[in-house]
Amino acid sequence: MSGFEGVIVSDTWLQSQFTQVELRTLKSRYLSIRNQSGRVIVGDLPPVFAKLKAFTEMFTEDEVKGVLLESNKDSGEEIDFESYLRTYLNLQALATAKSGGSKSSFLKATTTTVHHAINESEKSSYVAHINSYLAEDSFLKKFLPLDPSTNSLFDLAKGGVLLCKLINVAVPGTIDERAINTKTSLNPWERNENHTLCLNSAKAIGCTVVNIGTQDLVEARPHLVLGLISQIIKIQLLADLNLKKTPQLVELVDDSKDVEELLGLPPEKVLLKWMNFHLKKAGYEKQVTNFSSDVKDGEAYAYLLNALAPEHSGPAALDKKDPTERANLVLEQAEKLDCKRYLTPKDIVEGSPNLNLAFVAQIFHHRNGLTTDSKKMSFAEMMTDDAETSREERCFRLWINSLGTATYVNNLFEDVRNGWVLLEVLDKISSGAVNWKKATKPPIKMPFRKVENCNQVIEIGKELNFSLVNVAGNDIVQGNKKLILDNSLTSPVSPAYLWQLMRFSMLQLLKNLRLHSQGKAGKEITDANILNWANKKVKKAGRTSQMDSFKDRNLSSGVFFLELLSAVEPRVVNWSLATKGETEEDKKLNATYIISVARKLGCSIFLLPEDIIEVNQKMMLTLTASIMYWSLQQPEGEPESSLNSPDGSPTASADGETGLASAVSKLSMDGAASDNATSPQIENENPSKVENEQSSLENEKNDTSDGK
C-alpha cells in the first residue's frame, strides 16, 4: 500500500479548506495549464476559472481577469499551486458575497472576506485577563492596560509578542522569550517569525490551529485572534483539572473503574463532574450538563457557592425570582472569594459557554471543596506514570491533535482504546488506507466493535510495514501501554505502535517532498539518511560538532542542534545567547532556546527541553527530521546582496537576530510567504537542491543504524 496518495499542501490552514476530491480537481486543472506552457502565469487563469462550475454562473471571463489583476498587477507573473488555491478561495468568497451569502456546493467559504461577528463580552473578558496577567511584563507594560472598547487588542496582536507572552502565562516555559523578536517596530519577516513561533507553540500546548495561518495573525482577523486567545486562556484555567495536578479529584469517583473513566475525561467534563458532585451534596436536584442553558437561571451557581462558601453566601440569591437579579447577586458573592469576573449577569442569563466555563474554573481554583482522603490520594498517585512516559504521552497526544483529526485526544492511553482515533490518524497520514465501512464510530457499546476497529489498525500498520510481531487489536483495546507507547525504542515484542506511526508520517513527509520536487518517488528515506544529512549540513557550515547516533550523549549539551539550526538558516541563532552546555543549567538554557528557535523557523515539534538534555532517542530523530524537512523546502540560496542592509551589514533585530531582506521583499510583494504557519510553499522549492541533497544521502555509504 502506498501512503500519501492525496494532494499535499504545505500550508496546513490552506489544506484544511479543501477536501482531497477538491484538491485533486484543482490540481488537475493547474497541471493542464502548466503542461501547455511549462509554467502557470496569472494571465492563464481567467479562462480556466470562468469555466469552473463554481464560477460559471457568477463571473464572466473578463470579470475574473479584473479580480485577478487587482491583486496581481502583472498578468505575466508566475503563480504556484498554493497561490492558485488562494486565488480560488478569494474568487469563491466574492461569489458567495455576490450570491447574497449562499455558499457554493464545491467549497466552503473562505475567511478572507466573510464577516464574522465577535462576542464583545468575551473580548472584554479576555482583555481584562491580559491586563491582569501581563501588566508587569517588561515589554508589554507600555501598551497596557488595553481598552476593550477599542481595537487596541488586535493592533497589539499584529506584532506577535502579545500572543507569545500569553502562551507562556498559560503554560510557563513553553517559549524561550529570548527567541521572540521584541522591539517597537517589527519588519514583516520579524512579525512572521513571531507568529510562526506563536502558532507552533500554541499547537505544543494543545490549541487547535489547523485553520489559522500567520497571515491571519499579521492582519489580526478578530474572530481568529479571539478564538486563539480563548483557547490559550481556557488551557490556563483548566490546567489543574486532572489527577496529576489535583489528586483530590479522586474524591469524585468510587472505584478504580471510575478513576480510569475520570482519566479519560476532558478538563471541562471534569469541571462539570466536580460541579455536580457539590450540587448533589447541596440538594440541587438537576444535573448540569453544559455551561450554557443549564446555568442560565443562576440557580446552580447559587447552590454551588452556598455549598463551597457558606460564609459569603446564603439563601438570598435563591429567593430572587428574576434571573438577572439572581445572577447579579451570585457574582457579588463570588467576588468575595476573589474570583475574577469573567462574565456579567447578562452573560449568565444569555448562557455564554466560554465565559461561564471560565467563571466556574475560577471558583474551582479558589475553593474546590475537596478533602484529602489519604487512602484515595495514594490510589490516585498510583495511576500516574513516570516522568518520561508522561512526556511521551504528551508529545504523541499533541502530535495527534495537531493533525486536525475530528476527535480531540485528552488522554492518550484511554482515548485510543476503541481504535477510532488511530483510524483517523492513519487516514490523515495515508489517505485511503482506512475502510470506514468496517469501522464503528464512538460511542461504542459492544466491545467486539472496538476490537474490530483495532484489528483494522493493526492490519493497516502491517501494510505500512510496521513491526507488529504477535500483536492483535485486542492488545490496544486492553490498553497495553507497552504496545501503544513504550519508553524504549524497541521492546521485546515490537516497537510501540504510535512511535512507528509518527516515524512513518515523518519519513513520508520527507519522501513526499522529493516527489513534489522531482516528480518521482525514488528510494525510501531512512533514519541513517537523516543522521548523515544533519552531520553534512553542520560540517559544510564550517562547524565541528557531529553526532554519532540519535542517542549520542554529547547531544545533551545542545551545541549540535544550535549549529544545525544555524547551518540551515545562519540568521536564526543568536550565538550571544548560546552556552557551551557544560553544566546542567547551561544545557537547560540551550535546550529551551533550541526548541523555540526551531518553532520560530517553522518546525512543528512537541518535545520538551528534558528530551534534549536526557537525549531521548526518538525525540532527537523527530527534531532532526523536522529541521531537515524545513531546510529541504528552501531555495538554493540568496544573492549575497539581498542578505545585507544597504551599508553591507546584516539587518539585526532587537534580540540580535538578523532579518531576511529577500524574504521581506517577497512578503511586501505578495504576502504569500507569511501565509504559512509551518513552512514555505513546496511549489516554490528549488528541485535541484532537494535532488542533489537526496542523491547525496542515497550514495552515503555510512550505514548508521539508529532506532529504525
CA distances 283 to 276, 278, 370, 653, Å, are 10, 9, 17, 61
Strand intervals (E) in 535-681: none
- Domain spans of the chain, in order of start: 12-99, 120-238, 249-381, 386-503, 526-633
First to last CA, the chain: 20
Record the pTM.
Answer: 0.74
Whole-number pLDDT of residue 462: 94
Whole-number pLDDT of residue 406: 86
pLDDT at 659 over 50: no
| Measured distance CA(370)–CA(365) in Å, rounded | 11
Whole-number pLDDT of residue 495: 67
| Measured distance CA(210)–CA(428) in Å, rounded | 13
C-alpha dihedral, 678 to 683 to 688 to 690, nearest 10°: 30
- Contact indicator for 340, 368 with CB cutoff of 8 Å: no
The string of pLDDT tens digits covering residues 453-476 is: 999 999 999 999 999 888 889 989
- AA letter at 61: E
Q: Quick one: average pLDDT of 501-524?
A: 75
Whole-number pLDDT of residue 173: 95
| Measured distance CA(463)–CA(3) in Å, rounded | 10
| Measured distance CA(3)–CA(1) in Å, rounded | 7
The string of pLDDT tens digits covering residues 364-419 is: 999 999 986 655 555 555 455 556 678 888 999 999 998 888 888 988 888 999 99
Phi, psi of 138 (to 5 degrees): -60, -35
Which CATH number applies to 526-633: 3.30.1330.40, 1.10.238.10, 1.10.418.10, 3.40.47.10? 1.10.418.10
Choice between 683 and 172, residue whose per-residue pLDDT is larger: 172
Topology of domain 249-381 in CATH is Actin-binding Protein, T-fimbrin; domain 1 (1.10.418)
Q: Quick one: average pLDDT of 467-486?
A: 84
The CA-CA-CA angle for residues 527, 530, 534, to 5°, reads 145
Comparing 286-290, 479-483, 611-615, 693-697, the range with the smallest average pLDDT is: 693-697
Burial class (CB in 10 A: 0-12, 13-18, 19+), 373: middle
pLDDT tier for residue 152 given thresholds of 50, 70 and 90: very high
Equal CATH topology for 120-238 and 249-381: yes
Cell output for 208: 487547535
The CA-CA-CA angle for residues 659, 660, 662, to 5°, reads 150
**H or E element: which one contains 198?**
helix 188-204
Backbone conformation region of residue 465, classed left if phi is above 0, alpha if psi is from -120 to 50, else beta: left
Whole-number pLDDT of residue 663: 31
Which CATH number applies to 386-503: 1.10.1240.10, 1.10.418.10, 1.10.4000.10, 3.30.830.10? 1.10.418.10
Choice between 210 and 703, residue whose per-residue pLDDT is larger: 210
pLDDT at 167 over 80: yes
CA distances 536 to 45, 249, 558, 569, 576, Å, are 42, 52, 17, 15, 24
pLDDT at 500 over 60: yes
pLDDT at 50 over 60: yes
Cell output for 693: 541533497
pLDDT at 668 over 60: no
Whole-number pLDDT of residue 435: 95
Whole-number pLDDT of residue 354: 92
Cell output for 94: 466574492
Among the listed residues 507, 546, 528, the one whose alpha carbon sits nearest the alpha carbon of residue 702: 528
pLDDT at 194 over 90: yes
Whole-number pLDDT of residue 470: 82
Q: Quick one: average pLDDT of 663-677?
A: 30
| Measured distance CA(544)–CA(226) in Å, rounded | 46
Whole-number pLDDT of residue 53: 64
Alpha helices, DSSP H, located in 12-170: 12-16, 20-37, 45-51, 61-71, 81-98, 120-133, 152-157, 161-170
Choice between 561 and 185, residue whose per-residue pLDDT is larger: 561
- AA letter at 337: L
Q: How long, in residues, is the chain?
A: 708
Whole-number pLDDT of residue 675: 33
Whole-number pLDDT of residue 381: 52
Question: Mean of the per-residue pLDDT values for the chain?
Answer: 79
| Measured distance CA(628)–CA(631) in Å, rounded | 5
Whole-number pLDDT of residue 486: 63
The string of pLDDT tens digits covering residues 66-123 is: 777 766 656 777 788 888 888 888 877 777 666 554 333 333 333 333 446 688 999 9
Whole-number pLDDT of residue 660: 29
Choice between 687 and 121, residue whose per-residue pLDDT is larger: 121
Q: Quick one: average pLDDT of 160-170?
A: 97
The string of pLDDT tens digits covering residues 278-330 is: 999 999 989 999 999 999 999 999 999 999 988 877 677 677 788 899 999 98
The CATH architecture annotation of domain 120-238 reads Orthogonal Bundle (1.10)
Helix (H), strand (E), coil (C) string for 467-485: CCCCCCHHHHHCCCHHHHC
Backbone conformation region of residue 325, classed left if phi is above 0, alpha if psi is from -120 to 50, else beta: alpha
Q: Quick one: average pLDDT of 53-74?
A: 71
pLDDT tier for residue 650 given thresholds of 50, 70 and 90: very low
Cell output for 367: 475553593
Q: Quick one: average pLDDT of 688-696?
A: 48
Comparing 126-135, 428-437, 561-570, 630-639, the range with the smallest average pLDDT is: 630-639
Which of the given ranges, 332-341, 410-419, 666-675, has the highest pLDDT on average?
410-419
Whole-number pLDDT of residue 6: 54
| Measured distance CA(423)–CA(430) in Å, rounded | 10
Concatenating the DSSP letter of every residue in 106-129 gives SSPPPTTTS-----HHHHHHHHHH
Backbone conformation region of residue 27, classed left if phi is above 0, alpha if psi is from -120 to 50, else beta: alpha
C-alpha dihedral, 23 to 29 to 34 to 35, nearest 10°: 120
Q: Quick one: average pLDDT of 245-269?
A: 83
The CA-CA-CA angle for residues 418, 493, 469, to 5°, reads 75
Whole-number pLDDT of residue 573: 94
Q: What percent of the chain has pLDDT over 70?
A: 76
Whole-number pLDDT of residue 261: 78
Rg (CA), the chain: 27
| Measured distance CA(654)–CA(138) in Å, rounded | 14
pLDDT at 493 over 80: no
